[in-house]
Chains A and B, each alone.
Chain A
Amino acid sequence: MIYLQVLANGVVLGGLYACIAVGFSLVWGVLNVINLLHGSFIVLGAYVAFFSYHLLGLHPFLSAPLAGMLLFVLGFGLQGAIINRVVHAPVLMTLTLTFGLDLLINNAMLVAFKADYRKIVLEPPLGSIALGEVILPLDRVAVMVLALLLTLLLYQLLRLSRLGRAIVAMRMDHDAARLMGINVMRMSAVTFGIGAFMAGAAGSLLSIIYPISPLNSTLFLGKAFVICVLGGLGSVPGAMAGGVVLGLIESFSALWLGPEYAVTVSFVLLIVILAVRPTGLLGKRGFE
């Protein structure tokens, strides 16, 4: 049954996509900043994994937290020092600012790491398992499970910890949050840092599946756009739903129309959904 196989591929892909998008969705939802740096953050995470694997012999699954921490520091610094200064300016300003920062960081990566596509080849390879007639590559499944675990951790962090409640409070109402004694500027930096953490960790996990290159950043960023619009903005379940839906759409459009149309289909869908139902498929807002 080819449909079962395509379905399984789509769901696995969807798990990876959820992890790509959840940090982007958090930053957009809470800070109202479209972080065009997100794609570059993911690629940076992948480079951390690449160099830890080749220099330190660290498995990409183990270097994911390390990549996340490094990216957290970078994100915290960027938001605290630069983006916070214009966070209340009109949409155009923050969007343009993150575009400028992305040009800077992406160009820095090109100079430092070159545009060559690199790949982590695991020794020994993980192989694949067969469930009936459906064959699943184990590396993808492992990455999906870890990605979902990370996403779930973020969800629990937002729901249960004091830090998480402060972020949710900010998402509901910046001014009221400030009145309740939340240091909005600091928490904005922390939120942006967490978004960067998720991107870095996701990039590190994905490094065993996708080739690594600075040129890939727009690819990841485009996926994050589509997923956020599909799932609705600013909630962890929304990002997960959007990720799975996008994974399925890409798998089935590759089957029916050919793989070269997968990107076109997802972007056309983005415009249609925005035009018809801008709140996304779940139609719910917020990190409540």
Chain B
Amino acid sequence: MRDWAILAAGVTLFALLPLLGGNYALRLGTIFAMYAVLALSWNIIGGLAGYPSFATAAFFGLGAYASAILAGKSVPMLLAWAAAGIVAATFAVVIGLAILHLKGHYFAIASLVLAEVLRELTNSFADLTGGGMGLNLPVLRWTVGQEAQFFFFAMLVLVALTMIAVLLLRRSTLGFALRCIQQNEDAAVMLGIGARGCKAVAFMLSAVFVGIAGAIYASWVHYIEPGDVFDVLYSVKPLVMVLIGGIGTLFGPVIGAAVFLLLEEAVWRSFLTIHAAVLGGLIVLLVLFLPDGMLGSRKARLVWRG
């Protein structure tokens, strides 16, 4: 009950942002909501089920391209977004059934390579995807302010949906099964948990909202290209956010996304040429000195380590 109240309060407060700030604040708010979606989604497969996934960029780019291609064929925007979610989810189930039996590093590498493969394929099939030239999306006939507000609220609705899914998942049998798998998969299988199916569903849940986020992002920026939306950083940033907030915690990913965004903005502003190094340094410090994150407890980490 308390968690639902926090969620409702958070979303309401955040929805007031357009009253307070200008377009820059809205832009930051939109990115924050997008990051929160990515981090919450990663936490389902990476935190809850304990599988170190680097597939976020693959889902994000897939969603972006699916909706951009549909939008180019004059499919209505909301329908294209929904289709993007379905495409990403289907992809996740199919790939998940193939690679989720891998453990540790092997799973990490297989998931990391997904985005690379998709990027190369996108580059190769230029007829459909525009190749390295990228794709332009239809321009909306709105004012700048209207557009900023629209995409802000779109991302806000998406992050609320993601959060609701996570809250429902926590209390469900599936969530319980995933926690068992994370702690000891062999024991979970012995107890009759269908680990294969559970993991595939978790992977799907971690893909669907990311796919839609990619679609909204594509409509928002009007132009996508393979190197942009399949960037490996989309796989790594959510993970860093979750590490900041506390792995496997409920609201940790959201807090992590906010902290990360603030750091990122500050770094971009003051150290343009070395922003990657600053991000790298942040990651190193985080892993060495704050491995449990801000909301994580030491006890939780011991359980997670098995």
Contacts and interface: CB of A to CB of B under 8 A. Distances in A.
A and B form one complex:
yes
Interface of A: 28, 32, 34, 82, 85-86, 89-93, 95-97, 99-108, 110-111, 218, 222, 225, 229, 260-261, 263-264, 267-268, 270-271, 274-275, 278
- Label chain B's interface by main secondary structure: helix
Contacts, number: 122
Interface residues of B, number: 44
B108 A267 contact: no
B52 A91 contact: yes
B280 A103 contact: yes
Contact of A103 (B46, B113, B124, B279): B279
B287 A97 contact: yes
A84 B304 CA distance: 20
Interface of B: 46, 52, 95, 98-99, 101-102, 104-106, 108-110, 112-114, 116-117, 120-121, 123-124, 232, 236, 239-240, 243, 273-277, 279-284, 286-288, 291, 304-305
A96 to B, nearest CB: 6
Nearest to A229: B109
Contacts of A97: 283-284, 287-288
Most chain A beta-carbon contacts within 10 A, residue among B104, B283, B284, B287: B287
B124 A260 contact: yes
A99 B124 contact: no
A92 B279 contact: no
Contacts of A85: 288
A100 B108 contact: no
Contacts of B104: 91
A106 B108 contact: no
A264 B277 contact: no
Contacts of A278: 102, 106
Contacts of B239: 92, 96
A161 B117 CA distance: 41
